Amino acid sequence: QLNMAKKKEAFLKDFREGPLLFQPTYKFDLYSEVYDTSEKKRKPAWTDRILWKVKNVSAAASKESEFPGEENVVSVTLHNYIGHMSYGISDHKPVTGTFKLELKPLVSDPLVVLNAEGEWSAEHDVVIRYSAGPEFPSSAWDWIGLFQVTFRHVKDYVTYAWVEDDEISSSRDSKQVYMSASEIPKMGGEFLLCYYSNNLQSIVGISEPFQV
């Protein structure tokens, strides 16, 4: 049924699945490894599946700036795809997949270098200076976030500035962006800046820590 749907439904066509080398995971009698013994006696089926798809970043890059190279940034390799027959609290057996993710090409230098200029406090607007390599696929949707040094996720920002809308100066070598004083945390502490690329869907530059 899934293979038939992949042929008909456009949104499923690019999804991949590993080989089904484990026994059907449905339908079991509860707390057992015995297939359905009820009156319906349902046929065993692989109803629990894991599919994956890798987004083609180069194709999704904005028209104003193409992503360099033709390869996807991320490649995915399935290491194992198994059903767990020892679990019995449902009439389904759980399925897990283990994947290896490889980022390529490997970038040893940051694509964007940025730093906080001058003294940062909540008493006045502050300025960020950054520079990007000539091949960097910039976008109007890129932003620079202010993070505590202990941040763990890209959404943990305290505040942020759009690199285009909040730009105050530009030269061949670098650009400046401002952040409003009203957005700077009054309690102070140690922070850093991160440049988020919309085209690459990741942080591509991190400043040195600094005090607010």
Quick: pLDDT tens for 65-95: 444 444 567 889 999 999 999 999 999 999 9
CA torsion angle 85 80 1 38 (round to 10): 0
Measure the CA–CA gap between 122 and 81, rounded to whole angstroms: 52
Q: In what order do the strands lie in the sheet with 167-170?
A: 112-117, 126-132, 175-179, 167-170
Does 56 share its domain with 24?
Answer: yes
All residues at 6 or more sequence positions from 108 whose CB lies less than 8 Å from its CB, including other chains: none
Instruction: Check whether residue 55 and residue 133 sit in a common domain.
Output: no
* 63 and 161 belong to one structural domain: no
Q: Which of 79, 104, 129 is the last residue in one of the domains?
A: 104
Residue 58: which pLDDT band, with cuts at 50, 70 and 90?
A: low
Same domain, 116 and 206: yes
| Average pLDDT rounded to a whole number, residues 133-140 | 90
In this structure, the answer to whether residues 48 and 73 fall within a common structural domain is: yes
Number of domains the chain contains: 2
Residues 1, 100, single domain; the answer is yes
Task: Identify the residue with better confidence: 71 or 30.
Answer: 30
Mean pLDDT (the chain) is 89
Does the pTM surpass 0.75? The reply is no
Supply the range of the domain harboring residue 116: 112-211
Give the pLDDT of residue 64.
41
Same domain, 126 and 205: yes
One domain for residues 88 and 123: no
CA–CA separation, 211 and 90 (whole Å): 53
Question: Bridge-partner residues for 98, per DSSP?
Answer: 80
Of the two residues 60 and 123, the one the predictor is more confident about is 123
Same domain, 92 and 123: no
User: CA-based Rg of the chain, rounded to a whole angstrom?
Assistant: 25
Within this chain, do residues 89 and 183 fall inside the same structural domain, yes or no? no
Q: What is the Cα–Cα distance from 154 to 186, expressed in whole angstroms?
A: 22
